[in-house]
Structure 1
Amino acid sequence: MGPLSASPCRVHVPWKELLLTASLLTFWNPPTSAQITIEAVPSNAAEGKEVLLLTRNLPQDTTGFNWHKGGSVDSTRQITGYVMATQLTTRGPAYSGRETVYPNASLLIQNVTLSDTGFYTLQVITANLVNTEATGQFRVYPELPKPSITSNNSNPVEDEDAVALICAPEIQKTTYLWWVNNQSLPVSPRLQLSSDNRTLTLLSVTRNDAGTYECEIQNPVSANRSDAVTLDVCYGPDVPTISPSNSNYRPGENLNLSCHAASSPPAQYSWLINGTFQQSTQVLFIPNIAVGHSGSYMCHAHNSATGHNRTTVRIITVSGSSPGLSAGTTVSILIGVLASVVLI
């Protein structure tokens, strides 16, 4: 019969109390035909902890018992034996010094290792020399270390590069999970996971993939999460925009044009007027413009990481009277001219 699963509360009950409870039940209960069962407490143990193989329904006419490593009785894999009348304990070939046997046929294994994982068989001998067997099992898992993330590309370019993020170390029978910006991994055809989930591949990265990435490793007894790794995606520049949007100016005004393009890392800017280079700045300022400043103003944006360039052009027209002459001043000058004509 397979092992009984331990209830969540039972895992926290000290094994000595379990032994006492089992012993009292064995002493007070009348003989029954209930089948012997073995319960591993806990059924999933952390490496270095202890596991109690708790025996239930031990017959009252038991004269002795033996514990064996494995799913069957095997003298070459006997751990220990016990004689009820003399309370004599014997040690078998599989005894490691970490096992303690109790009169109620329970077996305590301390400082468990990964190799302790598996089945354990109890052989019970009764007064009528009938042998009864019961088997239990447990699994030992390692305490998981803090994982770390490595990347095959620290400066991927948008729509050109793929990025592989690898969660280390590689541990068997461990679950690997990924988090992006503190959220579970979104579903996307561009996101691919390896068969063991250790490697996350981002196909043809976009600027939306930039952010923090974490990996988490889990097993039934522990969990641990890596430090966040920031993924920066190089992109742009996008087509620049020139502000303000005004294209018509009057002589004497100041021309102040600013250029901006979405880019990572930030773009480098330069200006050309009518095809002639002017300066390498994001802002172009020309005070007190004149009609001769009319023409084609081009902003050129360059991203040294992506190698991409983008330009945009604004046609500036300078015309009309100087802003220094108001409408009232113009009317006064016109009246004065007409008066002079009349006098002549």
Structure 2
Amino acid sequence: MEVSSVLLCSGCSPWQGFLLTASLLTSWLLPTTAQVTLESSPPQVVEGENVLLSVDNMPENIIGFGWFKGETDMNRGIALYSLRYTISLMGPVHSGRETLYGNGSLWIKNVTQEDTGFYTFRIINKHGKIQSNTTLFLHVKSSLFVCGHPFNPEQPTIESVPVSVSEWGSVLLRVHHLPNYLRTLFWYRGALVLNKLEIVRYRTFKDSYELGPAHSGRETMFNTGSLLLQNVTWKDTGFYTLRTLSTEFNVELIHIYLQVNKPVTQPILRVTESIVTVQSSVVFTCLSDNTGVSIRWLFKNQNLQVTERMTLSPSNCQLRIHAVRKKDAGQYRCEVFNPISSKTSLPVSLAVMNE
């Protein structure tokens, strides 16, 4: 049994099913076959800030991965990700502030000192076995003082304008609260500061710009630090990093995640049986070629009111109705949507007969 099938199992909690499979396949402590490395950006984080736990040297031919809080307790899962189905699943210790991305990175918002501790990144290979465990220690500092100086609440931030952008549109990564006395500003494509990922840099004392290896010809940087991206495609989705170098040679990193959305295509709705008897069960499945979409269900052209007899899968792609009743008969549809578009499936009718 592989991660993807466990995530979609209906007879058990997806998280419990994943853990059961993992425990049967192997023990927690394994030799690391891939040289996976983890990095915290920024390296030092203060209460109320956001932090990115990024993954480098992710191996190929894997089917999933997950983040855990701690070093050895596999029940303290934060989130899992199935690469085959491009879905993420929240774990028992997910606080609502964590976002797991398809590149393995874990984004934690508004950190507190309680977030201090070890974080473990686990990889599942194509055979469904645990391939590696890599651990990182995150230290969240008090918001009152940083290096003996009062904490400045107006930390540099970046916002996406507009918040949601579609393919071939333009987006401005606008910088706020940029400090004074800066020597140089750098923009990078990704969460890591690597020369090959540099887009552009601006030298304030020369008022000059230098293009980097990752510059595509569609990026324009302003002396405010903001970066304009034009004619974006879905390949531009991901993290962008602004690095500032002060006149005292202090370095600060600021990250933003940009989501470029493609218009969704019409989903297909399938049902296990279109004619069922009272008290039986039926399963509807919404099939979509799109990734990163949300799904809602419609019944008789109205939003479906989910009752205690109904179960939705973690990604909402499956609807199971238990102990079917006469009032469940009618037309069902599913709708897939992202911030820029939505499409509804053709209707599927369910008939309910007496036993």
TM norm structure 2 = 0.49
Q: Aligned AA for 1:227?
A: L
- SS of 1:76 mapped into structure 2: helix
| Mapping of residues 1-344 of structure 1, within 5 Å | 2=50, 35-59=155-179, 61-84=181-204, 87-126=207-246, 128=247, 130-140=249-259, 141-154=261-274, 156-159=275-278, 162-169=281-288, 171-203=290-322, 205-235=324-354
Deviation at 1:137, TM superposition (A): 0.7
Q: Aligned AA for 2:263?
A: E
1:173-199 deviations in whole A, cap 9, x for unaligned?
A: 332211212333334454332232212
> C-alpha separation between the residues in 1 aligned to 2:333 and 2:344?
7
**Which segments of 5 or more consecutive residues in structure 1 lack a partner in the other structure?**
4-31, 237-344
- Contact 2:156-2:254 within 8 A present in 1 as well: no
Deviation at 1:117, TM superposition (A): 3.4
Deviation at 1:83, TM superposition (A): 3.2
Q: Which has the larger radius of gyration?
A: 1
Q: Aligned AA for 2:336?
A: I
In structure 2, relative to structure 1, the CA distance for the partners of 1:157 and 1:71 (3 Å cut) is closer
> C-alpha separation between the residues in 1 aligned to 2:279 and 2:236?
50
Deviation at 1:78, TM superposition (A): 0.9
Partner of 1:239: none
Deviation at 1:85, TM superposition (A): 5.5
1:190-220 deviations in whole A, cap 9, x for unaligned?
A: 4332232212233454432221212122334
Deviation at 1:135, TM superposition (A): 0.9
Name whichever structure is richer in helix by fraction.
1
Q: Aligned AA for 1:76?
A: K
> C-alpha separation between the residues in 2 aligned to 1:216 and 1:107?
35
Q: Aligned AA for 1:191?
A: M
> C-alpha separation between the residues in 1 aligned to 2:206 and 2:306?
66
Deviation at 1:150, TM superposition (A): 2.2
- Contact 2:299-2:333 within 8 A present in 1 as well: yes
In structure 2, relative to structure 1, the CA distance for the partners of 1:188 and 1:62 (3 Å cut) is closer
- Contact 2:240-2:258 within 8 A present in 1 as well: no
> C-alpha separation between the residues in 2 aligned to 1:37 and 1:195?
32
> C-alpha separation between the residues in 2 aligned to 1:157 and 1:63?
71
In structure 2, relative to structure 1, the CA distance for the partners of 1:159 and 1:36 (3 Å cut) is closer
1:259-301 deviations in whole A, cap 9, x for unaligned?
A: xxxxxxxxxxxxxxxxxxxxxxxxxxxxxxxxxxxxxxxxxxx
In structure 2, relative to structure 1, the CA distance for the partners of 1:37 and 1:199 (3 Å cut) is closer
- Contact 1:2-1:135 within 8 A present in 2 as well: no
- SS of 1:233 mapped into structure 2: strand
- Contact 2:295-2:337 within 8 A present in 1 as well: yes
> C-alpha separation between the residues in 2 aligned to 1:233 and 1:45?
44
- Contact 2:170-2:231 within 8 A present in 1 as well: yes
- Contact 2:187-2:241 within 8 A present in 1 as well: yes
> C-alpha separation between the residues in 2 aligned to 1:198 and 1:36?
39
- Contact 1:53-1:136 within 8 A present in 2 as well: no
- SS of 2:352 mapped into structure 1: coil
Q: Aligned AA for 1:152?
A: T
- Contact 2:276-2:282 within 8 A present in 1 as well: no
- SS of 1:196 mapped into structure 2: coil
Figure out how many residues of one structure are paired with residues of the other and give that number.
206
> C-alpha separation between the residues in 2 aligned to 1:134 and 1:115?
23
> C-alpha separation between the residues in 2 aligned to 1:188 and 1:57?
48
Deviation at 1:161, TM superposition (A): 5.5
- Contact 1:119-1:135 within 8 A present in 2 as well: no
- SS of 2:286 mapped into structure 1: strand
> C-alpha separation between the residues in 2 aligned to 1:125 and 1:198?
46
- SS of 1:68 mapped into structure 2: strand
> C-alpha separation between the residues in 1 aligned to 2:171 and 2:244?
20
1:75-113 deviations in whole A, cap 9, x for unaligned?
A: 232111223465543222222232111222211122334
> C-alpha separation between the residues in 2 aligned to 1:199 and 1:124?
46
> C-alpha separation between the residues in 1 aligned to 2:348 and 2:286?
11
Deviation at 1:41, TM superposition (A): 1.9
In structure 2, relative to structure 1, the CA distance for the partners of 1:201 and 1:39 (3 Å cut) is closer
Partner of 1:302: none
**Which segments of 5 or more consecutive residues in structure 2 lack a partner in the other structure?**
1-48, 52-151
In structure 2, relative to structure 1, the CA distance for the partners of 1:193 and 1:161 (3 Å cut) is same
